Chain A
Amino acid sequence: MTNSVSIRDLSLSFGAVTVLEQLNLDIREGEFLVLLGPSGCGKSTLLNCIAGLLEVTEGQIFIKDKNVTWKEPKDRGIGMVFQSYALYPQMSVEKNLSFGLRVAGVPKAEIDKRIARAAEILQITPLLKRRPAALSGGQRQRVAIGRALVRDVDVFLFDEPLSNLDAKLRSELRVEIKRLHHALGNTMIYVTHDQIEALTLADRIAVMKGGIVQQLADPLTIYNRPRNLFVAGFLGSPSMNFIQGQIAIVAGQPVFKFGNTDVLLTAYPTETRLRDAQLATLGLRPEHIRLVDDTAQGETFEAVVDIEEPMGADTLVWLRVAGTALSVRTEAGRRFTPGERLRVQFNTAMASLFDGGTQDRL
């Protein structure tokens, strides 16, 4: 078995409130797993359970095939990085890094060696004598990562490590964390509510809601073939367009009907058999709607421009198709005026179709 971390039927409740329910998760050796979800979905709670900072109500946690459910945090072979850095304010950077090693009684020479190595990897060697208060946010987070690094742990746990940083620094450190993962090859579990971080960093993403993993897959699958309506709506910026309607089988071909418009679903890769008159939601990402001219081949629809949002690299146009508002990503440069009439084409091969009742992918 090459699972680095395994979670078996994990449940956690505080009194009557259940935060995690019957959760199962296998994380492979060296994998970068991102736990993604809105605040309150239980992702940080799960991370704290893995770290041993919260006691689980039911279930088991295995790290490196060892049952660590009842183990103390220090005995689990984990290092943790917090959103608020959590550096010990009265200790210098060096003392911060060495604290865990000193607690464990590691010989002085070994401590020095490990600190030197970690400081070099993270480029914080000139800061070793400083206090955390004299560091910038990015430097503090580097030290916090270093604290996990020196302890030579199997699994790194990150609890929204970049959320306190400004946008520019966040993207820089994001790249650094990815580079670090490539260099070290450790298993990393990373909690975030930021979908860009999730998509860019993860080998696999676990999208969570209400204490339940909604979908566990690689970023592209999550983005292109979301399991349910929640996952589809949570990922993507600008977010996916949803059209309410129903399915009809016309001459043996599935068709999606909304308003007075029919969309042919021949190209859509169905996972279940579509039924006639089934209520459904059609999800289309803004980049999967194309503006076309009148001569275009295939099925086109009439649209009226509502408003445009130029974003530099591209432009987002808000349109109305048969009374439904849709956003369309299009190349920058072209300008639109409200009320302008256009024709659009749906890329139904890349669309997502959800059941109106269960909201699961069809």
Chain B
Amino acid sequence: MSDATIALAGSEPWGKRPKRRFAPKTIMLYGVLIVAALYYLLPLYVMIVTSLKGMPEIRLGNIFAPPVEITFEPWVKAWSSACTGLYCEGIRTGFWNSVRIAIPSVIISILIASVNGYALSNWKFRGSEVFFTILLFGAFIPYQVMLYPLVIITRELGIFGTLTGIVVIHTIFGMPILTLLFRNYFSSLPPELFKAARVDGAGFWRIFFQIMLPMSVPIFVVAVILQVTGIWNDFLFGVIFAGTQNFPMTVQLNNVVNSAQGVKEYNVNMAATILTGAVPLIIYFFSGKYFVRGIAAGAVKG
């Protein structure tokens, strides 16, 4: 018996198919991935290294060299004393402004969009599809077209240049994509659940809060990620609608980096940039899985 087995194992395919460790395909795949990863990581490396150097060391010009003497002074300066135009308080005011803008914008836009999506997928009314199409169309109109009218509208409403103004603007511009996200998610839930709840006598809000919401935690996480990163990275709306005292971090960063007078403090600029990018970066880092799911869920269907 053993003879036969050995003979079989030696000549003919038998049992589990052997795996080659370094197949050409694998080498190619990993090769490309590693090169791509390096390509994208290199700028970050330069930024971190530069931000940890003192100005004399930067002037030597070896931008890829690790710092000889590590200093955190640029970070401290960027945070608390770098000059943004007239004031020299660092970008921390911008950070807290961004937080004050992002939190209400994220909460309000998601609340409205989730109810929108729920109504559009489960409580279809005459013209609901048209309504949805118009809403979606909004996502494809360039912002520039809407800026001037919006400036006038917010001015007339008396909220131009206020925190309320910028929150309203973010809520409006988040609506198309978030509604699409929620509508598609609610459409993917079995319609019988909704019917069963109606037979059980539950109304619009009760079905939303007691049946739909507990089933949609993943899509809420996705929406929060989309909104937080989107609003945090916003520059255009912030600079136009927020007003000087509410400038978000991105605008403050621009003012630090582009300030005309004096020498360019590359280390401070790098530190300020990393600080500004830290929030979205951390979110992407910890929620990559949900973020990809969100993009997939946002794909148009139905």
Contacts and interface: CB of A to CB of B under 8 A. Distances in A.
Interface of A: 48, 51-53, 72-74, 78-80, 82-90, 99-100, 103-104, 144, 147, 151
B234 to A, nearest CB: 35
Contacts of A53: 195, 198-199
A292 B199 CA distance: 57
A80 B194 CA distance: 12
Given A87-B196, A90-B214, A147-B200, 18 more contacts: A52-B198, A53-B198, A73-B201, A74-B198, A78-B199, A82-B192, A82-B195, A83-B192, A86-B192, A86-B193, A86-B196, A88-B196, A100-B200, A100-B201, A103-B202, A104-B201, A147-B196, A151-B200
A80 B206 contact: no
B199 A74 contact: yes
A318 B197 CA distance: 51
A88 B213 CA distance: 11
Contacts of B193: 86, 88
Among all A-B residue pairs, the 9 with the closest Cβ atoms: A74-B201, A100-B200, A86-B192, A86-B196, A90-B214, A82-B192, A103-B201, A73-B199, A80-B199
B215 interface: yes
Given A74-B200, A103-B206, A80 B215 contact: no
B213 to A, nearest CB: 9
B185 to A, nearest CB: 15
Given A51-B199, A74-B199, A103-B200, A89 B215 contact: yes
B190 interface: yes
26 contacts: A48-B195, A53-B198, A53-B199, A73-B199, A74-B198, A74-B200, A74-B201, A80-B195, A80-B199, A82-B196, A84-B190, A85-B192, A86-B190, A86-B195, A86-B196, A88-B196, A88-B197, A88-B211, A89-B215, A99-B202, A99-B210, A100-B201, A103-B200, A103-B201, A147-B196, A147-B200
A89 B199 CA distance: 17
Contacts of A79: 199
Contacts of B200: 74, 99-100, 103, 147, 151
A151 B196 CA distance: 13
Contacts of B210: 99
A186 to B, nearest CB: 15
Given A88-B211, A89-B215, A90-B214, A73 B198 contact: yes
A72 B200 CA distance: 10
Interface string B206-244: 100011001100000000000000000000000000000
Pick the most buried of B195, B210, B211, B215: most chain A CB atoms within 10 A of its CB: B195
A151 B199 CA distance: 10
Contacts of A90: 214-215
A84 B192 contact: yes
A73 B202 CA distance: 10
A145 to B, nearest CB: 12
B32 to A, nearest CB: 41
Interface string B168-195: 0000000000000000000000101101
B214 A80 contact: no
A141 to B, nearest CB: 12
A312 to B, nearest CB: 37
Contact of A100 (B192, B199, B214): B199
A80 B214 CA distance: 23
A159 to B, nearest CB: 8
A72 B206 CA distance: 15
A52 to B, nearest CB: 8
Pick the most buried of A48, A52, A86, A147: most chain B CB atoms within 10 A of its CB: A86
Nearest to A82: B192
